Amino acid sequence: MIDAAILPPSNASAASRALGRRDLRTLSLAALGGALEFYDFVVFVFFAIPLSQLFFPHDTAPWLAQLQVYGIFAAGYLARPLGGIVMAHYGDKLGRKKMFTLSVFLMAVPTLGIGLLPVYAQIGMLAPLLLLLLRVVQGIAVGGEVPGAWVFVAEHVPAQRVGFACASLTSGLTVGILIGSLVAALINRELTPAAVLDYGWRLPFLAGGVFGFFAVWLRRWLSETPVFEAMHARKELASGLPLKQVFERHLPSVLLSMLVTWMLTAAIVVMILMTPSLVQSVFHIEPARAFLGNNVASFALALGCLFYGWLTDRIGYARALLFGAIGLLICSYALYLDLQAGTAHFVVLYALAGFAVGVVGVVPALMVVAFPPAVRFSGLSFSYNIAYALFGGLTPPLIGMLVKRYGVLAPAHYVAFTALVGVGVGTWLLAAKRSG
């Protein structure tokens, strides 16, 4: 039987205090730090094409080299469970803030390292192996960062503001994607293709390392969550292994969290991270226009997250998820059908698709309330990271193969299928609420 906590709140009619100044300060600092760290993680995919040319033999077929780079990108996702499980364990035992700071430090170091890596022409096969290693460390870091950030902000705000709090953090993470897209657009506009291959590709990673250390400094101003401090004072922290308790008592919540994470991964990875490269390689859109569209879509995504977080606090998790998943299905097809027809409305439809992807703002709030505080970090982190490793990690190479085999609408078909999963979860939650 599903945990009662996962059912949507009765509505915003329940009296609760508004977000105070301290809450807003916490949300702002957490979102800014998350944006800087997520920039470090995702900027890799915006330079998939030059990386595929520099880190593999020159006689490798372009589609195969790009598929291999997507595979290295995917390795970061596959490494996420390790970081997520370990950091969540200590987050439930020692405190949320300590792990929240450690994760961003672990992201800054490999990002800086990628910017300093020698390429295949200099050290041969050692180059892609080192790139893979650094990408794995990035994955370990982000595995603890994202779930920890959601738990951190959710435990700092009133219960009836959890939707907006988690969505504001998610919006901050998507701003990191926007920063990466803007940097990629700027580099492709100001530098020649030869200059990008020579040194331009290094610049976003070197800047990312600096951003990461700045995020470490920002987080020193944050305080431990009131929820964790109260549990510590009352000696209610989980005994033994928190993850063991998750398996024994909260498996339905784990399953539900993994399903909604699948929709989140498809929306973010395909629509936001992969589409700029896909429209260049498959639909032959010039880089400047591709990244312009992605900039607009990423900005719309940040706004969409805030909207769906606000909506979640007003109408409940289930209805917000149901409404948003339907919008994601419609907008993903609209974008890719236009691309197939000649790209006449690419930027406008990409913006609408970006806003529709904002439904991912519902997902973290739903997962936060699915688990009790004593094992919240472990339950959320396990569910989210395992699902992201499985679905998010396999998505880039899978989409590459599906496009080659089934045609240019394959990305939209995949996103639409996961949106239907979201519709199913939302419908099930509504039915569970009525029957309960």
Residue pair 242/377 in contact (Cβ under 8 Å)? The answer is: yes
* Highest mean pLDDT, choosing among 19-23, 28-32, 285-289, 422-426: 422-426
- Asked if the model's pLDDT at residue 311 lies above 60, the reply is yes
Report yes or no: 114 and 171 within 8 Å, Cβ to Cβ: no
DSSP characters over 380-403: HHHHHHHHIIIIIHHHHHHHHHHH
| Better pLDDT: 80 or 270 | 270
Least confident piece of the model among 52-56, 200-204, 298-302, 366-370: 52-56
Non-local (6+) Cβ contacts of 250 within 8 A are 3, 370, 371, 372, 375, 379
pLDDT at 146 over 90: no
Which of the residue ranges 1-5, 17-21, 393-397 would you say has the lowest mean pLDDT? Answer: 1-5
Contact 234, 359 (CB under 8 A): no
Q: Are 399 and 410 in contact (CB under 8 A)?
A: yes
pLDDT higher than 60, residue 172: yes
- C-alpha torsion 292→296→298→301, nearest 10: -160
pLDDT for the residue 377: 83
Domains and CATH numbers, the chain: 4-8+20-218+241-435 (1.20.1250.20)
pTM beyond 0.75: the answer is: yes
Torsion of CA 30, 36, 42, 47, to 10 degrees: 170
Angle at 380 between CA 376 and CA 382, to 5 degrees: 120
pLDDT of residue 51 exceeding 90:
no
348-372 confidence digits (pLDDT tens): 999 999 999 999 999 999 999 888 8
* Residue for token pair 């792990």: 99
Burial class (CB in 10 A: 0-12, 13-18, 19+), 288: exposed
User: Is residue 241's pLDDT more than 50?
Assistant: yes
The single-letter DSSP state of residue 358 is G
User: Among all chains, which residue has been given the structure tokens 């990271």?
Assistant: 385
